[in-house]
Structure 1
Amino acid sequence: MIKNYFKIAWRNLTRNRLFSLVNIAGLSLGLTCCMLIVLYIKDEVSFDRFQEHKDELYRIQVTFSDENGARTTGSTNAIHGPAFKQEIPEIKEVVRTQSNSFVIKKDNELFNQSAVFADDGFFRIFTMPLLAGNPETVLSDIHSIVLTERIAEKYFNTTDAVGRTLDLKIGDEFETFTVSGVAQNCPENSSIQFETVLPFKFQEAKGWTDTGWMGFYMNTFVLLHDKADSRTVVPKLDRVFASKAAEEIGEMKDSKSKIHFDLQPFLTIHMDNELSDLRNGLGHGSSPIYSYLLSGIALFILLIACINFVNLTVARSLNRAKEIGIRKVAGSKRTQLVAQFLSESILLAFVAFAFALALTQVILPTFNELANKQLALSYLFDFKLVAMYIGLLLVTGFVAGFYPALALSGFSPTQTLYNRLRLTRKNYLTKGLVVFQFALSVSLVVATLVIFSQFEYLTNKDLGYNDENLMVLSLGRGGPGKQTFDVIKQELQNTAGIKSVAGFNGHYNGTGAKIGDQNIGFSYIGVDDDFLNTLEIPLEQGRNFSQSFTSDPTQSVIINEAFVREAGWKDAIGKEIYFEWKDATLRVVGIVRDYHYASLKEKIEPLLLTQDPNYRLGTLMIKLDTRDIPATVKAIEQVFHKHIPLMPFEYVFEDMTNFKKYEKEAKWKQIITLATILSIFVSCIGLFGLATFNAESRLKEVGIRKVLGASVVRIATLLSTDFIKLVLFSILIAVPISYYAISAWLQDFPYRIELSWDYYFLAAILSVAVALITVGFESIKAALMNPVKSLRSE
């Protein structure tokens, strides 16, 4: 019996090729989306689960709270981990990690190389397998180095590199390091990411580590004993800190801030929304919102595809009415008819599933690029996922075919055999499903338009400074001496194609100072006299730094407008700022307009510019003209190598750096756009089905109207009007839903576009236009039909 069901189902599918093709296309797209999202989510939830000690591993995190709120970071200082281990018996092992970069010399070639300093236990507590070397001892010698496979191949053309040497630039000299181990390349689903690992005690031997309790700039991981409860460890962290750091805390007696230590489970790091500081050996951070968003899109598109199946099957029902009547007269029970139609549905779902597998394989490289993943179709084929997909296949076939099976099996044989069957044009369920489809599609259209606009806003907004043709050139970690720096700068200023050159310490550091009775935090940078002019940052009040004022480096600072607001000053020129950590009082001599030194996803914070002589300028900001940029870059390289021969020449352009800050938004713009196109396409398939159903159920009405003189245009308009009403109704439903969702998304941006009715108007126009095109074909086809054919049975 079952074999007969599927045989008849196959005949029906092949007989109605267009109907089958449209249905299979819709289901295939829906299933493809589901497969891609399952791959994505599987990869997300698999992060770090290969770690042998995953349940006992934690990262120490710190929360700072004051009258302005609380801020949590995953950074600690070098002293914290060892002190906690010594005082808290539940802690089995501690590993500190800190990122750095070095110049490596190999066969007289120079390379910039990232590195992670780590304690001896790094390869014991983290499951990062070594191809060569002993995990217990690879970091025991301070001049040892561990390479990944890729880096070993880069420098030695082989992974058999143990015992070989590399020269690392330490200060102004090169020191030799011996390869003690070669590790497998870090898995893509690992939060621990490194290319080379150096012993942390090398930093300690060089005196590079901060031994104070109030510094926070590296990661500290703790491995608890098997039976230890992290909840009992947390209060002990605070007690140890309060005891050991009592003297430093006492020096901050005027401060109202409080410091609380906590343990962050290692498995939560990858998708932690609160802590974005994934550095010092950590990377590949994500957010659960992406998994939720993609899952929602995939399920909605699959649901739309199932709705389409219902609509198309009902639309074709009149053509099978006599078949159903004959089956009933011949003795078929309703359960048998239901089984027959469900068999057809499951068979169609199976064919769609096969096409979806092929389509997934084709689309996967593009999806990997958009999602920044390295997924493979083979990830789908484990026992749990295979079982899930079989279940998805059966559920999809059952859900899509259940209503049509019930509806068609309920036809009266007398009415069907005498052509007296009339399917009501009200058909609320079918129309409701179409409204639901288009409401979702319109919401996605609005979302796409808003995301496009927000991305354009982020990438084109005036930053408060000019980043065009602005080269950023590093002169090495810490920068050269002042004399060398001045010579390089002078030669570049005299080079053709260069408008101006400025010195900068290279990054924005966070610090704090006292103003009156309050302590405020701000970003702190070192610059020279030409920084503001080169970046074209307007000076709102006061003056710029100048060599005419010899006291500027030790007594003067420039601040931004956000600093003035934070300090509560009305007239900031001449105001004093006391730096407790260097026991110095500095005076404000100028105020610059607020400019976006961070991305537009962050609010402009208070900023202070200094010429502190202890703040070495290791970065040049070089403004180029547009005449011959390649030739100018070549000239800059010659000057660079002339004075800094032991560094590779590497540079970036500031506008490209700013653009890369929004790579995630750019990828999501593409993903949402693709999802919108798919949802509209699949929704139009459903609309086409309803149009077909409507045209077939009104053939005689159309014939009578034509006999009475109605024009083709009038008839096509009549048949299309109902559908346009449905689309307009779906737009009304989509407006509040999309407004709420998009408003919530935009709240994450302190600088954002304003939602206007333009987006909804454009979405409405697009949706109506697509609906008219979809419905128009079937309506015109019905209007052009010869009335003799539709009326001859009367």
Structure 2
Amino acid sequence: MFRNYFLTAVRNLLHHKTYSVINIAGLSFGLACVLCILLYVNDEVSYDRFHHHTEQIYRIDKTVSKEDGRVSTGSYTGYFPGPRFAAKIPDIQQFVRFQTTYADIKNGSEIQSQTVSIADANFFTVFNFPLLHGSAATALSRPNSVVITEDVAKKFFGSTDVTGNTISIKGQEGFTPYEVTAVARNCPQNSSIRFEIVMPLQVSAADENKNENWFNSFLTTFVVLSPGAELAAVNQKMNRVFEADANESISLIRSRYGIQDIGISYVLEPLADIHLGKMVSSENESLFNKSNPTYSWILSAVAVFILLIACINFVNLSVARSSKRAKEIGIRKLMGGSPQQLMIRFMGESFILCIAAFALALVIVSAFLPVFNQLTSKALSLSYLLQLKSLASCAGILVITGLLAGFYPALVLSAYQPVKTIYNRVQAGGGNYLQKALVVVQFSLATFLIAGTLAIFLQANFLTTQKLGYDDSDLITVNKAGLSRKDAALFKQLLLEQPGVAGVAFKNQDFSGNTVKVNGETNINVIVETPDEGYLPLLKAPILSGRNFSAAFASDPVNAALVNETFVKEAGWKEPLGQKIESIDGGRSYFVVGVVKDYHFKPMTEKVTPQLFTMNPNNDYGTAYIKIKPGTASASLLCVSKTFSKLFPLDPFVYSFKQEQNENSYAAERRWKKMILASAMLTIFISCIGLFGLSVLSAERRTKEIGVRKVLGASAGNILALLSTGFLKLVFISLLIALPASWLATNQWLQHYPYRITLSWWLFGASGLLVTGIALATVSFHSLRAAMANPVKSLRTE
């Protein structure tokens, strides 16, 4: 019986090739999109779950409460939380500290700057990163041991079996040889912890005994809890230990700076929650590949939308075609076929078509996966679908698709009455109300996605084209840690002798956070900048009031400061010039000599925060800003490189163009713009496939009517309007539903950006016109053929 059902279903699909192709094409593209998104989401939720005891590993996060009520949680801690908590809390079995920094590596005569990680000796026993060579237990047990990845081993030595070899790493006393004690596999792509070279963490006796180190924040601390440990109880114990152990330092800070509430507490975050977690924001995150879970939800919703649209196509076409199979159904019922048997037959046809579409979807995914990987910055593989969870998900998608696409058409077809079907008195789909409703749902989803795509496109364009408040064109940055004032002056002198160099300035390398006191009581968190007097003029950052730093004022390096507009607003100053600023960490006082116009020193995805500019001679420079003349990039870079190598032969020449740095800050926005655009185009394509099929069936059902109307004098335009009006009404209804919903959704999404576009009516109007135009073009294609057909042939149609 089932063999007969199968053969009949295959013959029926082959007999109606056009509709089979339309249905398979729509379903296959929809399923291909779903499979790609399934691969992406599975990868996102799998982060850090490859370790053997992931459920017992937690990261210590530090929460700081501000005086204005704001709470900030960061993942950076200092030396103390790990060992002090582990010593006094029995639930903590182990701790491991991890820090990523940069160091100069010498291999033979070659010197290059390389990312280097520093970790406790038990790093490779707590975390299960596979080792190709060496022992996890002893890899970091000796002070001058080092673990490298297989890629680093091949780059430095040409092979992976290199234990016992040495590399030289630059420290405070010059280059020191380190013995390679283990070679690790490259970090999995779904790991938040990433490393290339790992050195043992060494804490001096002075740092171990300096109680103020409770307030340092520069590394990440993980702990392993006992099985069954209660998380809330451990959090409480940690904070009790902190209050008791750091009591002396807390009292010192309170008395020295007049701060009553330190506002620091510690909380544990599960390792598996870090990648998609919202406990720590991206700017306060110490690990890599932090992702926004909203993206996974958006993509999952897009996948559901696209699959639903593909299933709606199937239902609509199947119900619309039902009149063509009415006689077949009537005869089968007269021959004794029960409604249950007919339903099984039609469901079987649906599943056969879904299986064919799924097979084609796998081919499409295989072909387009490299493009999808480029869009998502991942390295996904079709082999990931062979994992047990993925196989179960695929089977579930196939069954759900088959049921969604086939159940209602099978129910409608099996319910036909044999007498009516024999005499062609069947009206498919109960007046086609469901079919019309499904078309409305389909184009509502398509319109919603298109409006969202336009909003994302405009926001991404806004971020990448908005003026930053300073000139980043033809600006090169060169890193040199610990650059003294004397060396900076010599470097600048030699650079300005080069014909392609228009200007040079220096500043500290990284953003340095601090807290200062103004008005005798208000604490403000600031970004501390240490530039020379040429930095702001080089960037063309305007000074709104007061003056810039100047060599004419001998006191500027000691107590002069510039602040930005945001600083002035937070301080509540009406007249900022001459105001006093006290640094709470070093006891140094500054007086404001100028106010700098706000500029976006960080990406526009982050709000401009208070800036404090000083010329504190205790702070070294770390970055040279070199303005070159337009059109001289190659020659100028060569001159800068030679000058740098001449002055600093033991340091690698690391440079970048500031404009490129700024553009790379919005890589995620550009990536999501492309992904959502591709999703919207696919949605429209699948919707139009279904609409095209319906228009073909509509024209076929009304062939004689069209012939009669043409004989009676109807023009081709009249016929075209007759066939298109019904579909366009449904599209207009879908616009009335989708456009308000898309406005609400896009407006909510834009709230995540501190700087954003203003939603305008034309954005949604353009979405509506685009959808209407595409729908009209789709319907008109076959309707025009029917309108232009010879009426004699139409009247002969049976």
* Alignment TM class, shorter chain as reference: over 0.9
Distance 1:280 1:387, change over 3 A: closer
Match of residue 220 from structure 1? 221
Deviates more, 1:233-242 or 1:556-565: 233-242
How many angstroms apart in 2 are the aligned matches of 1:384 and 1:240?
42
How many angstroms apart in 1 are the aligned matches of 2:796 and 2:671?
58
What per-residue deviation string (whole Å, max 9, x for no partner) do you get for residues 105-139 of structure 1? Answer: 11201111111111111112111122222222222
The alpha-carbon deviation at position 154 of structure 1 amounts to 1.0
The alpha-carbon deviation at position 274 of structure 1 amounts to 3.1
Deviates more, 1:419-428 or 1:487-496: 419-428
Distance 1:161 1:81, change over 3 A: same
Distance 1:204 1:288, change over 3 A: farther
Match of residue 471 from structure 2? 466
Local SS of the residue matching 1:251: helix
How many angstroms apart in 2 are the aligned matches of 1:97 and 1:211?
20
Contact 1:435-1:727 within 8 A present in 2 as well? yes
- For 1:310-709, list aligned pairs within 5 A: 310-423=315-428, 426-475=431-480, 477-479=481-483, 481-515=484-518, 516-709=520-713
Distance 1:793 1:544, change over 3 A: closer
- For 1:91-106, list aligned pairs within 5 A: 91-106=92-107
How many angstroms apart in 2 are the aligned matches of 1:107 and 1:139?
23
Counterpart residue type for residue 697 of structure 1 = R
What per-residue deviation string (whole Å, max 9, x for no partner) do you get for residues 654-680 of structure 1? Answer: 111111111111111111001000100
Match of residue 28 from structure 1? 28
How many angstroms apart in 2 are the aligned matches of 1:382 and 1:424?
41
How many angstroms apart in 1 are the aligned matches of 2:464 and 2:210?
38
How many angstroms apart in 2 are the aligned matches of 1:385 and 1:166?
43
The alpha-carbon deviation at position 18 of structure 1 amounts to 1.4
The alpha-carbon deviation at position 278 of structure 1 amounts to 8.3
Counterpart residue type for residue 332 of structure 2 = R
The alpha-carbon deviation at position 273 of structure 1 amounts to 2.1
Local SS of the residue matching 1:373: coil
The alpha-carbon deviation at position 525 of structure 1 amounts to 0.9
Unpaired stretches in structure 2, ≥5 consecutive residues: none
Contact 1:425-1:694 within 8 A present in 2 as well? no
- Alpha-carbon RMSD: 2.0
Contact 1:143-1:202 within 8 A present in 2 as well? no
The alpha-carbon deviation at position 408 of structure 1 amounts to 2.2
How many angstroms apart in 1 are the aligned matches of 2:797 and 2:227?
83
The alpha-carbon deviation at position 286 of structure 1 amounts to 1.6
How many angstroms apart in 1 are the aligned matches of 2:495 and 2:721?
72
Distance 1:687 1:404, change over 3 A: same
Contact 1:98-1:280 within 8 A present in 2 as well? no
Deviates more, 1:530-539 or 1:218-227: 218-227
Counterpart residue type for residue 491 of structure 1 = L
Unpaired stretches in structure 1, ≥5 consecutive residues: none
How many angstroms apart in 2 are the aligned matches of 1:208 and 1:105?
34
The alpha-carbon deviation at position 206 of structure 1 amounts to 9.8
Deviates more, 1:350-359 or 1:402-411: 402-411
How many angstroms apart in 2 are the aligned matches of 1:712 and 1:21?
29
How many angstroms apart in 2 are the aligned matches of 1:676 and 1:197?
44
What per-residue deviation string (whole Å, max 9, x for no partner) do you get for residues 293-336 of structure 1? Answer: 11111111111111100111122223222222322333322222
The alpha-carbon deviation at position 17 of structure 1 amounts to 1.3
Deviates more, 1:709-718 or 1:286-295: 286-295
Local SS of the residue matching 1:691: helix
Alignment match of 2:305 (pick from 284, 296, 300): 300
The alpha-carbon deviation at position 793 of structure 1 amounts to 7.4
Deviates more, 1:24-33 or 1:209-218: 209-218
Match of residue 240 from structure 2? 239
Counterpart residue type for residue 112 of structure 1 = S
Alignment match of 1:717 (pick from 718, 721, 743): 721
How many angstroms apart in 1 are the aligned matches of 2:646 and 2:215?
41
- For 1:12-411, list aligned pairs within 5 A: 12-68=12-68, 69-171=70-172, 173-201=174-202, 212-253=213-254, 254-255=258-259, 256-276=261-281, 282-411=287-416
What per-residue deviation string (whole Å, max 9, x for no partner) do you get for residues 29-73 of structure 1? Answer: 111122112212222222212212212211111111133211111
Counterpart residue type for residue 62 of structure 2 = V
Contact 1:474-1:620 within 8 A present in 2 as well? yes
Local SS of the residue matching 1:620: strand
How many angstroms apart in 2 are the aligned matches of 1:70 and 1:624?
43
The alpha-carbon deviation at position 478 of structure 1 amounts to 2.1
Contact 2:74-2:285 within 8 A present in 1 as well? no
Local SS of the residue matching 1:201: coil
What per-residue deviation string (whole Å, max 9, x for no partner) do you get for residues 463-492 of structure 1? Answer: 0001111101112x222x322211011111
How many angstroms apart in 2 are the aligned matches of 1:343 and 1:244?
71
Match of residue 4 from structure 2? 4
Counterpart residue type for residue 172 of structure 2 = G
Contact 2:412-2:429 within 8 A present in 1 as well? no
The alpha-carbon deviation at position 205 of structure 1 amounts to 8.8
Deviates more, 1:673-682 or 1:98-107: 98-107
Local SS of the residue matching 2:213: coil
The alpha-carbon deviation at position 700 of structure 1 amounts to 2.9
The alpha-carbon deviation at position 172 of structure 1 amounts to 6.1
The alpha-carbon deviation at position 784 of structure 1 amounts to 2.5
Counterpart residue type for residue 59 of structure 1 = R
Contact 1:423-1:697 within 8 A present in 2 as well? no
Distance 1:555 1:455, change over 3 A: same
The alpha-carbon deviation at position 531 of structure 1 amounts to 0.3
Contact 1:116-1:280 within 8 A present in 2 as well? no
The alpha-carbon deviation at position 532 of structure 1 amounts to 0.5
Counterpart residue type for residue 546 of structure 2 = G
Counterpart residue type for residue 297 of structure 1 = V
How many angstroms apart in 1 are the aligned matches of 2:489 and 2:253?
39
Deviates more, 1:275-284 or 1:121-130: 275-284
What per-residue deviation string (whole Å, max 9, x for no partner) do you get for residues 239-260 of structure 1? Answer: 1111121122123333244111
The alpha-carbon deviation at position 81 of structure 1 amounts to 1.6
- For 1:773-784, list aligned pairs within 5 A: 773-784=777-788
Counterpart residue type for residue 12 of structure 1 = N
Counterpart residue type for residue 755 of structure 1 = L
- The count of corresponding residues between Structure 1 and Structure 2 is 792
How many angstroms apart in 2 are the aligned matches of 1:90 and 1:350?
52
The alpha-carbon deviation at position 188 of structure 1 amounts to 1.1
Local SS of the residue matching 2:249: helix
